[in-house]
Structure 1
Amino acid sequence: MAKYSEEFKLKLVTEYLDGHLGYKSLAKKYNLPSKTPLQDWVRAYKTQGIEGIKRREINKAYSVQFKLDTILFML
C-alpha cells in the first residue's frame, strides 16, 4: 500500500500551485517528513499531469506457471 493516497497528493499539489503556501509550509502543515516528496509530486504533476502522481505497479510477481508457459512459448 502506498504511503500517501493519490487524493492526498493531488490536494497538496493543487494547494501549492494555487500559491497560498510554499513547499516547506505545506510539508509542515500536513506533517510530511520534509518538503522533498511534495517537490517530487509537483514536478511529476507539471510534466505528466494526474498520471504523474498516480501509483504505479512495480516489481510485479509472476506465477511459476506463467513463467513456465512463457519459456515453453519461446522454445
Structure 2
Amino acid sequence: MEKIGVVSSDKMTNTVVVRVDRVVKHPVYRKYVRKRKKFMAHDETGARIGDKVRIVETRPLSARKRWRVVEIIQKAEL
C-alpha cells in the first residue's frame, strides 16, 4: 500500500512526519468531509517540510514507524 502526503515535520534523525489528506463522503449526511492522518516514515532521501512525498508500508522499524519514503514528488517552494 502506498500513500501520498506532505511532510509536516523533519526534526528527527532519518524520520519525517507525513500528513496524508483524503476526502470521504459522510454516510448519513452525504457531505464530503476532509480527513487527515499523520504517519511517521523512515527517510533517507532528505525530505524537508512542505515536500510532497510518496510513502509505502514496510516492516516495523520502531515502535511507531511502519512507513518508508520512496520518492519526493515535489519540492516545497521557499
TM-score tier after normalising by the smaller chain length: under 0.3
TM-score (norm 2): 0.20
Bigger fraction of residues in helix: 1
Q: Which has the higher strand share?
A: 2
- Relative to the length of structure 1, the TM-score reads 0.21
Looking at CA atoms only, which structure, 1 or 2, has the larger radius of gyration?
1
